[in-house]
Structure 1
Amino acid sequence: MLVELVPLLFQYANLTVTPRYYESPLPIAGDLLPNGTWNGVTGELLAGRADIAVFPIARGVGPSSVIDLTYTYDELGLQMLVKQELTSAASSSLFLAPFTTSLWLVLVATVVGMPVLIQIFAKLSPLGAFELIKLRNLTAKSRTQEFKVVCENDSYFMDILQAATSSNVEGPTAKSWAVRLPILYFYFFMVVVGAAYTASFASFLTVNNFSSKVNSLEQLARDPTLKYVIEDNGATLAYFQDSIDPIIQQLRPRLQTVRSIRDGVAAVQSGEASAYIAESHVLQHIAGQLPCNLQVVGALFGPNGLALGVRRGWPYTQALNVAMLQLMQNGVGDELRRKWVGNQDICTSSSQVSNRALQSTDFSGLWYTLFCAIAIGVVIIIWENLMVNVLQSFPALRSSFLSGTNSLKYHESVGDLFSAGDEDRADFTNNPAYEVPAGSASDRIAKLSSPTTSHEAGTLKDESVDRILDQGEYESADACMTDLAAML
């Protein structure tokens, strides 16, 4: 990156210069030796053998006291490089891992609360979960008997539990859309939640889980058994020696050094050290290379400005500083950073599967739409009650309305908007598919009976039944009434 940056600096500074590079005998920023001289790239600048050091030097410490520095080209600080260790996924509670605890609690509350809410809706709606059928044996002049035809799942708990645990469920049995709409959407809700759980659980079973001994600088300071290393020269060493940060002071007695970046990485790979502390951009590049078992952890800390070193008194320093500002402001610096740091990462794939536990916020859209379905159900309940009250208050309108709805038929059975379908009538009729033979006594019984809006079976007069019995087509009144019940 720096080799490409330097020619751009000269170009933006309008300097016709052709850089000539050579490698420093010691590839470090530089240390002050006991004899008062400096080694590394700082020593090369002080000796006059170089005008500019194409090497990252932190501002404010070490060599910056004897050489000049350009404006910073990177604002990164220090971080820790640690080794990733594969952890076993086997656990008795692994099936709970795809969802966080808060999400499990919210889902349980939803599954328990929905049937309670639906039951309330069914009670409030005039087209609720059941209808009342009245039958009377007219021949015997018996009292009217009431039959309450209810849905199969009276409390709706089974409807909700089936939706929560099975993908093969029947539709809601209620007639009111105030009940049907929330249940139908809850089916969709649970399909999405179930699919998300399946995918997340599969990732927990198949994706390798990695962990590290150290995740933060504070953890490194608290655990005296954890070892760390830094380079034995440069700004990082100076920072650890001179910092007044309490955490750094706590770490200072355990300070161990290595000669180079390569030695620091080797110490972490071999397990001799739990962490290697260095400049963040250097560690990010190392972690992105094979064998892809290293990870950069912890927040940034320490010196956070990297610059190029120049010989003190060099006449082009000011021009390079102006050029550096231009490069950073027009985005060229960011482009170089992405090219040489971000794009060099071969370990992180954009398609990498994550086994992060899903949270409640991940499903917030589902709950918002569920609340909308419930709100629509409330509106439907209000409309249904308003409609019933209006029809009861205006008899003429009620008669006109019912005369139209009485023409609705369900499998040869006459009904209205307030009656259940044949799936409910199967509980008390002999045959839901009962066919009336043309011209038979049963046909005449049907003509003599008339359904009413109160669901009363009919008003067949005793003399009408007796007249049909006299014709010899029925042996008894009970047989006649059996056909009558089947017709109604």
Structure 2
Amino acid sequence: MALPLALCLPGQHVDPQGLHPLSPPGLLNLEKLLRQFLISKDTLSVRMLDDTRDPTPLLKEIRDDKTATIIIHANASMSHTILLKAAELGMVSAYYTYIFTNLEFSLQRMDSLVDDRVNILGFSIFNQSHAFFQEFAQSLNQSWQENCDHVPFTGPALSSALLFDAVYAVVTAVQELNRSQEIGVKPLSCGSAQIWQHGTSLMNYLRMVELEGLTGHIEFNSKGQRSNYALKILQFTRNGFRQIGQWHVADGLSMDSRLYASNISDSLFNTTLVVTTILENPYLMLKGNHQEMEGNDRYEGFCVDMLKELAEILRFNYKIRLVGDGVYGVPEANGTWTGMVGELIARKADLAVAGLTITAEREKVIDFSKPFMTLGISILYRVHMGRKPGYFSFLDPFSPGVWLFMLLAYLAVSCVLFLVARLTPYEWYSPHPCAQGRCNLLVNQYSLGNSLWFPVGGFMQQGSTIAPRALSTRCVSGVWWAFTLIIISSYTANLAAFLTVQRMDVPIESVDDLADQTAIEYGTIHGGSSMTFFQNSRYQTYQRMWNYMYSKQPSVFVKSTEEGIARVLNSNYAFLLESTMNEYYRQRNCNLTQIGGLLDTKGYGIGMPVGSVFRDEFDLAILQLQENNRLEILKRKWWEGGKCPKEEDHRAKGLGMENIGGIFVVLICGLIVAIFMAMLEFLWTLRHSEATEVSVCQEMVTELRSIILCQDSVHPRRRRAGVPPPRPPVPEERRPRGTATLSNGKLCGAGEPDQLAQRLAQEAALVARGCTHIRVCPECRRFQGLRARPSPARSEESLEWEKTTNSSEPE
């Protein structure tokens, strides 16, 4: 019996294991089993019943030691008693495996077992298909029903079956001996030295016997030992025991794993599992109208939907129950565990479905399924958003100091340009190139107004009609243009960011920045996997963070995620939590942001008690959900839908009036100032002009009428600034000379003026009547501003030309 048991245990994948013989002599029968555990690294604890034969204290010790596999080496009656006591203690469940070494145990009735999911294995040598076995069992049951209230066995005892097979083998051998020779009946005495003459022949025929008895195939070797027999390996199901394997004395162990797995799957069918969990968004939440509902309908969330998917695949029922202390589970000083992990260890729940992180410490006391979600620890912090773009946000690319220095640079360039243009002789040029020999006047285009206007045109990228002539003024202009090129390029590059992006003010950018400072407090959930990660980490930065969190007073640990989020929003606090929760809350509160990347990589799994037979089934179901993309769909359902946009969405958005409204304000203000200045110029001109027959109101109405009617821009003078009163008529003797001079500008002689002379005279009169500083050039027909060239001696020709020009007014 020890050898098939030793071979069968590794296939069960359960640990630890316990051996409970009825008496010390029973250990001698399992010598090979003990040797097998001495060779291997598996654990085998041996316990024996005391003299009271009460298994209850022994079973309580087994329950407290979290033993998963229990080997019972006792007779059939005591084995049945031990199983009944285990059922009273709640130890007959799917998390315990019982292996009975008694070959009669499979014949006992299991009607009293409450949970038919219990994994019970046994061995049998009975050949229940034998006709003698059926007849024997029927007559035995009929006798028990007539004399007993309860039928304890469904077949004969092992001793009775072996006795029957022994008699059957002897009878068969005697019959074969009688066929070969005549057997005489001769009385013999056990005390006599005389032997039976056919004894040796009968022993030889016994060694030659091969038959099928109640205990299977009967055959003996040359030494007279039974050989070529097999033991059936049976597993208990709701329909009774079923053969899942066989151990043959010659061929060894052969197991049918499909039957074993199918029994586990069948045990899940229509079975109600207790699910322990914890309230945490978005994994498990109470519905808004949960007071009006009962049972599982009160809850919603990612885990609820995942449970529905798993229940549909594995065909089981479940009952959601919130954990009593509201924590995930941490070890206590006395070795016990709290939270959901503690309930799984105590077998109070079948599953723990929540954001339960798979850790090595938890894996020692409970089993986990394959991870249904991958994540890592991240840093959640409150972000201080920069002010939203205002009407004058187009000024934000440069600081006020830069704008001030730009204004000073503009004034400095204007002054230097005015000074350089006045000093250099190359900016003074003749206004009438075609009359160089007769004109002694020079013009400089860089007046104070033009010197202020020229840098403005260059800064606005528009240019002006003023072109520098001298090398010095060109140098000033080139430097100013290079300056404006860099300024405009920098402004344009930063303007888009300032108009479309709200800058975030984050004082830390990584976990190293967080660990190197003390102004910002940081912590995690007390008793969670993140706390265990920092506590057990050997990385120097994480060790410093754990020392800070552990010694900080008041405590920086929080009891729940919601408490941590509230602390982040209301104080200078950074919260260390799983990246999935980080993502969920960031999408629902735009003042939260993630700092840096992930600190580690781990996964969420479904917790189960140690030795759970459902583990493989849930692993396959989770893989099926992942392959069908159902888990990703569920995550998008419960994570998305927040009011904050995705950080990955960098598409450009249209600018509104709140972004660029300020430039419209500047435009409107500029237009208003221009209109106001025009009115002031108009009134100033009227104020300093000589009185005429036209009133101020009439002049204003006339100008407005011409503006509204879009009349021609050329009209007779009424009143203009700076126009002197008309001169007296020129003497008659000077007219021919002046007219002849204006006709072609070269003193061709006297005579009547031609049409060109008349047209030039009219243009000069309309533009600058009576003005001594403006004239129409007869060569190039341009209006020129005149300035007397400093010369000690003025030629008679030039003086007469000037007089003639200044007095050239048409009548």
TM-score (norm 2): 0.33
1:466 aligns with 2:750: yes
d(CA) in 2 for partners of 1:353, 1:41? 52
- Describe the superposition over 1:75-120 as per-residue Cα deviations: whole angstroms up to 9, x where unpaired: 332223345579999xxxx99992278xx79x97xx99xx9xxx9x
Match of 1:217 in 2: 511
Residue identity matched to 1:252: W
Instruction: Tell me: CA distance 1:88–1:46, structure 2 relative to 1, closer, same or farther (3 Å).
Output: same
1:246 aligns with 2:540: yes
Match of 2:559 in 1: 259
d(CA) in 2 for partners of 1:260, 1:353? 41
Q: 1:308 aligns with which of 597, 602, 605?
A: 605
- Describe the superposition over 1:344-365 as per-residue Cα deviations: whole angstroms up to 9, x where unpaired: 34699999999xxxxxxxxxxx
Instruction: Tell me: CA distance 1:134–1:211, structure 2 relative to 1, closer, same or farther (3 Å).
Output: closer
Residue identity matched to 2:320: Y
The offset of 1:56, in angstroms, is 1.4
Tell me the SS of whatever aligns to 1:44: helix
The offset of 1:236, in angstroms, is 0.8
Match of 2:396 in 1: 98
Residue identity matched to 2:750: D
d(CA) in 2 for partners of 1:70, 1:485? 111
Equivalent residues in 2 for 1:160-179 (5 A)? 160-162=455-457, 164=459, 172-173=464-465
Instruction: Tell me: CA distance 1:478–1:301, structure 2 relative to 1, closer, same or farther (3 Å).
Output: closer
d(CA) in 1 for partners of 2:585, 2:627? 29
Instruction: Tell me: CA distance 1:61–1:26, structure 2 relative to 1, closer, same or farther (3 Å).
Output: farther
- Describe the superposition over 1:25-61 as per-residue Cα deviations: whole angstroms up to 9, x where unpaired: 2443322334544332223344444444221123344
Q: Is the 8 A contact 2:522 2:576 kept in 1?
A: yes
Q: 1:343 aligns with which of 627, 635, 641?
A: 641
d(CA) in 2 for partners of 1:248, 1:7? 39
Instruction: Tell me: CA distance 1:175–1:276, structure 2 relative to 1, closer, same or farther (3 Å).
Output: closer
- Describe the superposition over 1:249-276 as per-residue Cα deviations: whole angstroms up to 9, x where unpaired: 11222224333334434554564x7333
How many pairs were matched up? Answer: 343
The offset of 1:239, in angstroms, is 0.5
Tell me the SS of whatever aligns to 1:259: coil
- Describe the superposition over 1:395-443 as per-residue Cα deviations: whole angstroms up to 9, x where unpaired: xxxxxxxxxxxxxxxx99xxxxxxxxxxxxxxxxxxxxxxxxxxx9799
Equivalent residues in 2 for 1:133-282 (5 A)? 133-136=432-435, 143=438, 150=445, 158-162=453-457, 164=459, 172-173=464-465, 200=498, 216-224=510-518, 226-256=520-550, 257-268=557-568, 271=571, 274-282=573-581
Residue identity matched to 2:638: W
- Describe the superposition over 1:361-408 as per-residue Cα deviations: whole angstroms up to 9, x where unpaired: xxxxxxxxxxxxxxxxxxxxxxxxxxxxxxxxxxxxxxxxxxxxxxxx
Match of 1:326 in 2: 627
Overall identity of the aligned pairs, in %: 16
d(CA) in 2 for partners of 1:336, 1:213? 35
- Describe the superposition over 1:3-32 as per-residue Cα deviations: whole angstroms up to 9, x where unpaired: 223434566xx4444544222224433223
Q: 1:30 aligns with which of 305, 317, 329?
A: 329
Gaps of 5+ in 1: 120-129, 355-410, 413-439, 450-457
Tell me the SS of whatever aligns to 1:466: coil
Q: Is the 8 A contact 2:445 2:466 kept in 1?
A: no
Instruction: Tell me: CA distance 1:136–1:325, structure 2 relative to 1, closer, same or farther (3 Å).
Output: same
Q: Is the 8 A contact 1:52 1:308 kept in 2?
A: no
Instruction: Tell me: CA distance 1:242–1:156, structure 2 relative to 1, closer, same or farther (3 Å).
Output: farther
Instruction: Tell me: CA distance 1:486–1:29, structure 2 relative to 1, closer, same or farther (3 Å).
Output: farther
d(CA) in 1 for partners of 2:311, 2:737? 108
d(CA) in 2 for partners of 1:213, 1:466? 91
- Which has the larger Rg? 2
Q: Is the 8 A contact 1:61 1:235 kept in 2?
A: no
d(CA) in 2 for partners of 1:29, 1:281? 17
Instruction: Tell me: CA distance 1:445–1:159, structure 2 relative to 1, closer, same or farther (3 Å).
Output: same
Instruction: Tell me: CA distance 1:82–1:481, structure 2 relative to 1, closer, same or farther (3 Å).
Output: same
Equivalent residues in 2 for 1:470-485 (5 A)? 478=801, 481-482=804-805
Compare 232-241 and 48-57 and name the one that shifted more: 48-57
Residue identity matched to 2:464: P
d(CA) in 2 for partners of 1:352, 1:306? 41
1:80 aligns with 2:364: no
Instruction: Tell me: CA distance 1:224–1:467, structure 2 relative to 1, closer, same or farther (3 Å).
Output: closer
The offset of 1:480, in angstroms, is 8.8
Instruction: Tell me: CA distance 1:466–1:344, structure 2 relative to 1, closer, same or farther (3 Å).
Output: closer
Instruction: Tell me: CA distance 1:48–1:310, structure 2 relative to 1, closer, same or farther (3 Å).
Output: same
Q: Is the 8 A contact 1:465 1:477 kept in 2?
A: no
Match of 1:317 in 2: 618
d(CA) in 1 for partners of 2:654, 2:351? 42
d(CA) in 2 for partners of 1:313, 1:131? 109
Q: Is the 8 A contact 2:340 2:352 kept in 1?
A: yes
Tell me the SS of whatever aligns to 1:278: strand
Q: Is the 8 A contact 2:587 2:645 kept in 1?
A: yes
d(CA) in 2 for partners of 1:442, 1:62? 120
Tell me the SS of whatever aligns to 2:322: coil
RMSD of aligned Cα (Å) = 5.9
d(CA) in 1 for partners of 2:489, 2:520? 47
Q: Is the 8 A contact 1:230 1:278 kept in 2?
A: yes
d(CA) in 1 for partners of 2:582, 2:517? 23
Instruction: Tell me: CA distance 1:170–1:222, structure 2 relative to 1, closer, same or farther (3 Å).
Output: closer
The offset of 1:248, in angstroms, is 0.8
d(CA) in 2 for partners of 1:28, 1:44? 11
TM-score (norm 1): 0.51
d(CA) in 2 for partners of 1:79, 1:339? 22
Q: Is the 8 A contact 2:381 2:593 kept in 1?
A: yes
Q: Is the 8 A contact 2:430 2:443 kept in 1?
A: yes
Instruction: Tell me: CA distance 1:253–1:161, structure 2 relative to 1, closer, same or farther (3 Å).
Output: same
Match of 1:56 in 2: 355
Tell me the SS of whatever aligns to 1:99: coil
Residue identity matched to 2:580: H
Residue identity matched to 2:528: G
The offset of 1:230, in angstroms, is 1.9
- Per chain length, whose mean CA-contact separation is higher, i.e. which structure has more relative contact order (CA < 8 Å, sep 6+)? 1
The offset of 1:247, in angstroms, is 0.8
d(CA) in 1 for partners of 2:509, 2:494? 29
d(CA) in 2 for partners of 1:267, 1:175? 66
Q: Is the 8 A contact 1:280 1:300 kept in 2?
A: no
The offset of 1:72, in angstroms, is 3.7
Residue identity matched to 2:397: F
d(CA) in 1 for partners of 2:741, 2:454? 37
The offset of 1:484, in angstroms, is 11
The offset of 1:143, in angstroms, is 4.3
Match of 2:305 in 1: 4
d(CA) in 2 for partners of 1:68, 1:345? 38
The offset of 1:240, in angstroms, is 0.8
- Describe the superposition over 1:184-215 as per-residue Cα deviations: whole angstroms up to 9, x where unpaired: xx99x9699599869959x99xx8x9856765
The offset of 1:288, in angstroms, is 5.1
1:285 aligns with 2:579: no
Q: Is the 8 A contact 2:738 2:805 kept in 1?
A: no
d(CA) in 2 for partners of 1:250, 1:159? 63
